[in-house]
Amino acid sequence: DAGVIQSPRHEVTEMGQEVTLRCKPISGHNSLFWYRQTMMRGLELLIYFNNNVPIDDSGMPEDRFSAKMPNASFSTLKIQPSEPRDSAVYFCASSFSGEKNQPQHFGDGTRLSIL
Amino acid sequence: GNSVTQMEGPVTLSEEAFLTINCTYTATGYPSLFWYVQYPGEGLQLLLKATKADDKGSNKGFEATYRKETTSFHLEKGSVQVSDSAVYFCALRGGSNYKLTFGKGTLLTVNP
């Protein structure tokens, strides 16, 4: 079975540019999570969706960050305008929320570098 | 709220040594507990899980037992290999909360 698919795997862009990260969750999963990982701050939950609805976006750092989930098989995380401090690895994860013993399954991440 | 505390690394061991990475948690109710592993350049992978007290999760020679009396879920392996070098995260999911609460991760390096 296909796992969580993220694209692109790597993104290098100049500050001020718009960045869009994409995620396809595992089919049948109804919860989707966006994380950011840096050496300094570790793994941070940015936002999560349940049944395509944003449930908790308290981890989104600023208004420059936005996330959407237009349908059950696709989500985007957008940064506009981007800044060098946004450089990090961004992970998407999905799970089935019906039972608490269900783990989250992670994609391989997008390594973002803002110059 | 929920929280997870795991031993700070880095941990450096020789091949075939015994591994313990401590993890304790705070949660209301009866959470499910997880260990994830992250190899260099990759995402987090589920290593093992336990869903109720006294359950033992195991995978790839790793084990962890859900100890409610000590609110712990320590990761152990009897004989580590160089290929076990990675970052290990303890996590919990509790109640009606969809979120996982992660520890800060422990970097393990195994030398030949």
pLDDT tens digit string along A48-83?
Answer: 999 999 999 999 988 999 999 999 999 999 999 999
Structure tokens at B104: 């800060």
Query: What value does the mean pLDDT of chain B take?
Result: 93
| DSSP labels, A29-68 | --EEEEEEEETTTEEEEEEEEETTEEEE-TT--STTEEEE
Per-residue pLDDT, A100:
67
Contact A100 B93 (CB under 8 A): yes
Residues 6+ away with beta carbon under 8 Å from A73: A24, A25, A27
Per-residue pLDDT, A1:
63
Whole-number Å distance between alpha carbons of A95 and A91: 14
Query: Which chain A residues are closer than 8 Å to B45 by Cβ?
Result: 106
Residues A40-46 have a mean pLDDT of 90
Beta carbons of B10 and B33 less than 8 angstroms apart? no
What is the tens place of the pLDDT at every residue in B4-56? 999 888 999 999 999 999 999 999 888 999 999 999 888 999 999 999 999 99
Contact B32 A104 (CB under 8 A): no
Look at residue B107 and tell me whether its pLDDT is greater than 70.
Answer: yes
Beta carbons of A84 and A12 less than 8 angstroms apart? no
Per-residue pLDDT, B39:
94
Chain A residues with CB within 8 Å of chain B CB: 4, 31, 33, 42-43, 45, 48, 50, 55-56, 91, 93, 95, 97, 100-101, 103-109
Residues 6+ away with beta carbon under 8 Å from B111: B12, B13, B14, B15, B82
Look at residue B72 and tell me whether its pLDDT is greater than 90.
Answer: yes
Amino acid (one-letter) located at A74: F
Per-residue pLDDT, B96:
63
Sign of the CA dihedral with B23 first, then B4, A32, and A95 last: positive
Whole-number Å distance between alpha carbons of A42 and B104: 6
Size of interface A-B (CB pairs under 8 A): 51
Per-residue pLDDT, B97:
64
What is the tens place of the pLDDT at every residue in A86-114? 999 999 999 987 666 788 999 999 999 99
Look at residue B93 and tell me whether its pLDDT is greater than 90.
Answer: no
